[in-house]
Chain A
Amino acid sequence: MSELLIKNGVVYDPINGVKGEKKDICIRDGKVVEEVKNPKVIDAEGMVVMPGGVDIHAHIAGGKVNAGRLFRPEDGRRGLRPRTKVCMPESGYSVPNTFATGYRYARMGYTFVMEPAMPPLAARHTHEELIDIPILDNAAIPLIDNNWMTMEYVKSGDIDLLAAYIAWMIRATKGYGVKVVNPGGTEAWAWKKNCDLNDAVPYFDVTPAEIVRALAEANERFEMPHSIHVHGNMLGHPGNYEVTLKTYDLVKGITPYRDRPVMHATHTQFFSYGGTTWRDFESKARAIADYVNANEHVSIDIGSVIIGDTTTMTADGPMEYSLHQITGRKWTNHDVELETGSGITPFLYSGKVSVHTLQWAIGLELALLTKDPWKIALTSDHPNAGPFIGYPILISMLMSKRRRDESAKEMHSVIFDRAELPSIDREYSFYEIAIITRGMTARTLGLHEHGKGHLGVGADGDVAIYDISPEERDAGKIQKAFLNAKYTIKGGEIVVKDGEVVSAPPGRTFFVTPECESGLMDEMTAKLKEMFANYYSVSLANYPVQDAYVPNPYEIRAPWRS
């Protein structure tokens, strides 16, 4: 029996409504308990204590992440750190190796990360990397929107069969939910085309709008912990905010299985653009935030820009190609048969460039204009808008108007004409930061029911202790504290002490098992077999992810809703 007592800390535990109270946290055998008898004691006097961070969206593992590492040795060399007694060598800045990914998140006090884009055919790869990411609990969401099977069922209107298909896919990939990335557009990209929300997908005669609506309905056929997770159409295009709002409207009226949104719209910064070209490009964060403020069926994460060089990567192949066309930098594309695709290209966000400056402002505006922090999550769409290691910078920006003003002065003057940020006074509190990095993310993913994102009795003993006074408003000190936690505790074990990793246990992989009626499953499987026999380049029998790839499993069953 191992016991830990964290005493005298100022605790921020939003899910349990704890708003900065001096409170002891007791942990026994990895779980939060009422009291302990003979514990190891950490004195957190004068420090900020939060549940372990829960990242709702960061590309940390899988084929395209690794393709990013592979083709960027110049990024690899920017994060070299030698091995230690407990750590493997680290490499990379925007595309860190798996070990560095685990260590760096842990140093920031995070204990759970969601890999939000798993190509089903390459799911084994994603899981192999997740195994090699130390410390972090994790999960991965398979891409199920550009799949030929999905589009055929959308076309025929068979939502139940579509539900059977997504159930099969989530099980076959040991996945967590339904991911949508440029629905229809990625299939069109196989012919070097793209789709707007109401365009017909070439040869399949369905529209992206129909795909999104149908997947949201199919997802709610089950007691799924998470809503559909959507990267919509026209990401990164000037004027796309209207498409974004129409996408949100598509799922309005669908009843979720529990008290949560029916759509999580991800990295919203890239979808909040006004103007018609890059010349008259402007922020439409206000329009998006207004919608989110007025509605309950959509949650968002900000996808905020971190100034500097990064590696962009998404299943949105056409978007990556247009980015590559702008910069002329190296570009990798990898279309995946019958399912999805991906593109990768390096990108430098510069505060001297008007568009980048506005992008930077938009992410922060979304966080500051959305009134209820329970509807919004802190992300940088790692590594697309910047690497996760920049989160402490974002936190300091949200908490300090002064820091934002100082930064704005250094950036392109367009920020004063076509963005709202300079006129926003709001500053986040530690409690609100705890919401957008823990409470909201755990709840939106449905993980709060499985021990994540809070410190109530029965929760996982995942705790971050930051060496900073709850009164502190100095942005530099805030950033420093959140970059290197005083302590990070994972499952009751101290994994980080004074900003250094002192232990690196393996993480667990959470996956969902949707339970589908067997008649439906049989009917769907007959069609699936045809797809494999004729069009896939692998056998159906070799497709599902074997148990060997989830050595530390945590299963969440999702019964069919009768």
Chain B
Amino acid sequence: MVEITDVVCPLCGCVCDDIVVEVEDNEVKKVRGACAVGKSKLMGHGRIKSPAIRANGVLKDCSYDEAIKKAAEILAAARRPLLYGWSSTVCEATKVGVELAVEIGAVIDNTASVCHGPSVLAIQDVGLPSCTLGEVKNRASLVIYWGANPTSAHGNHMKRYSYISKGYFLPGGKKDKKLVVVDVRETKTAKMADRFIQVEPGKDYLFFSALRAILYGHEDVVPDDVGGVAKKELLELADMMKETPFGIIFFGMGVTQSRGRHNNIINAIQVTRAAHTHTKFNIMPMRGHYNVTGFNQVCTWETGFPFAVDLSRGFAWYNPGETAANDILWRKECDAALFIASDPVSHFPADSIRHLARIPVIQIDPFANPTTEFADVVIPTAVSGVEAEGSVYRMDGIPLRLRKLVDTDYPSDEEVLMRILEEVRAIRAKEGE
């Protein structure tokens, strides 16, 4: 038995890096310090056994060489290919992905486009006053979760970084802090809060605008009820925000995916700016997958843009709403798709999935999922953070390196992509002759 300490968890955007893992016979036997979901990921489950190619409707096992060759043929022939996923793999794989996208003139996009993509659009309009999670731990005496429920989605978030953690200036932990939850329903997190504010679905935008007017000193124009919230509650919340020396808003998909979408986030960030005229105030998206942020980072420094990048004309054209995965799927633009480290079939709307059924699909993933049912080529890989190492970015942009805990015969995502790229280049070279 070998004990490995300071293991970095490859599950959610918290990227806890203090996990202890016991390995015996090249298998993870015990996990300490992770939340239940993180533990399950580290222990492994439901692996794809072999590469496969679909023939007559049935996936038939094949060699890696055959699967990679087939994948390359599909991609090289495509006129509007899509490379999508990337949020549960390491940055090294993404880098090869961008290179492949450039080579074949593809659209490259990650799962942000169906979760926190709106947050990125909002940041592009107004910026993001934010900080690392350790700042929150050490200084934030007011923590607001808005449309976010960390008790279920980010198991260790409150304990490691926010309300429950102890910090340099807040040695008493939650005794020294106030927790406010704003949501459309009373979640488990809301039950813990010092104050819970229930807003009507789809009315967040109005709530934010009113709060801004109050923080800028114009409470006189605000009506008595805003989105189902009494003006008195708004005024009290504004006072709490003004009085804390350091406050933070964590927002989740409850805000990004409701009516108004990215404009809600713009307005939430504008609230933060208004509060910042009184005191130190910050805001941070609760990013989901462990490396959804990392894809956006790599894609930004390599192409100039964070997601939904269309390389079909040789340069990068970024325009979510036009160039995101879903846009080119439901509009039937896409003629071949590669999915890596994601499960679009479980998350995309019906129109997009219907189109997927009509075009060639390649899947690269350690695990079988509903997308496998649509795949024409399936290539299993090593689990990043268990069987392969590499860079990831926490929800606050902190880069960490996933560790390799056990050996495997599976190739890494990076390796498979590199081989596809080489194969594509070989096909291109042949065409050129």
Contact = CB atoms under 8 A, between A and B. Distances in A.
Whether A and B touch directly in their complex, counting CB atoms under 8 A apart, is answered as yes
B97 to A, nearest CB: 13
A125 B393 CA distance: 9
B399 A124 contact: yes
Given A99-B302, A125-B399, A542-B401, A337 B246 contact: no
The 4 lowest CB-CB distance pairs between A and B, nearest first, are A91-B304, A337-B134, A82-B314, A537-B134
Nearest to B161: A537
B167 A190 contact: no
Interface stretch (A30-38, A45-53, A62-70): A62-70
Q: Which of A63, A100, A330, A538 has the most CB of B within 10 A?
A: A538
Contact of B304 (A69, A122, A338, A541): A69
Interface stretch (B47-55, B70-78, B80-88, B118-126): B118-126
Contact of B102 (A88, A95, A321, A336): A88
A190 B129 CA distance: 11
Q: Which of A61, A91, A191 has the most CB of B within 10 A?
A: A91
A444 to B, nearest CB: 28
B18 A539 contact: yes
Contact of A89 (B8, B131, B135, B303): B303
A335 B161 CA distance: 15
Nearest to A62: B301
Interface string A100-114: 100000000000000
A91 B304 CA distance: 6
Chain A interface extent, by class: 35 or more
Given A88-B102, A539-B6, A73 B305 contact: yes
Contacts of A473: none
Nearest to B8: A542
B401 A546 contact: yes
Interface in B110-162: 120, 123-135, 137-139, 160-161
B6 A537 contact: no
A94 B104 CA distance: 28
B300 A190 contact: no
Given A77-B318, A341-B131, A538-B400, 18 more contacts: A63-B397, A70-B124, A76-B316, A80-B317, A82-B314, A88-B99, A89-B303, A98-B302, A132-B301, A190-B131, A192-B279, A332-B127, A332-B130, A333-B129, A335-B131, A535-B167, A537-B160, A541-B6
Interface in B237-253: 245-246
B391 interface: yes
26 contacts: A69-B301, A70-B123, A70-B300, A71-B124, A77-B318, A80-B317, A82-B313, A83-B102, A91-B315, A98-B301, A99-B302, A121-B398, A122-B399, A125-B393, A132-B301, A132-B302, A190-B135, A191-B280, A324-B127, A333-B129, A334-B130, A336-B131, A341-B131, A535-B138, A537-B398, A542-B400
A336 B127 contact: no
Nearest to B103: A83
B315 A81 contact: yes
Main secondary structure of the interface of A (DSSP, over half): mixed
A321 B401 CA distance: 32
A190 B134 contact: no
A128 B397 contact: no
Given A71-B128, A128-B391, A539-B18, A335 B135 contact: yes
Given A71-B127, A337-B138, A542-B401, A129 B167 contact: no
A548 interface: yes
A332 B129 contact: yes
B303 A91 contact: yes
Contact of A336 (B124, B132, B317, B399): B132
Nearest to B297: A66
A541 B139 CA distance: 24
A321 to B, nearest CB: 8
B203 interface: no
B296 A70 contact: yes
B17 interface: yes
A322 to B, nearest CB: 12
Interface in A119-174: 121-122, 124-125, 128-129, 132, 148
A70 B306 contact: yes
A402 interface: no
Q: Which of A330, A536, A546 has the most CB of B within 10 A?
A: A330
Contacts of A77: 318
Contact of A73 (B137, B161, B169, B318): B318
Contacts of B166: 534
Contacts of B17: 538-539, 542
Nearest to B320: A73
Contacts of B120: 70
A201 interface: no
B5 interface: yes
A129 to B, nearest CB: 5
B95 to A, nearest CB: 7
Contacts of B282: 333, 335
Interface string B4-15: 011010000000
Nearest to A79: B304
A230 B120 CA distance: 33
A461 B147 CA distance: 58
Contacts of A132: 95, 301-302
Q: Which of B139, B304, B316 has the most CB of A within 10 A?
A: B304
A76 B6 contact: no
A90 B303 CA distance: 7
Interface string A538-551: 11011000101000
B276 interface: yes
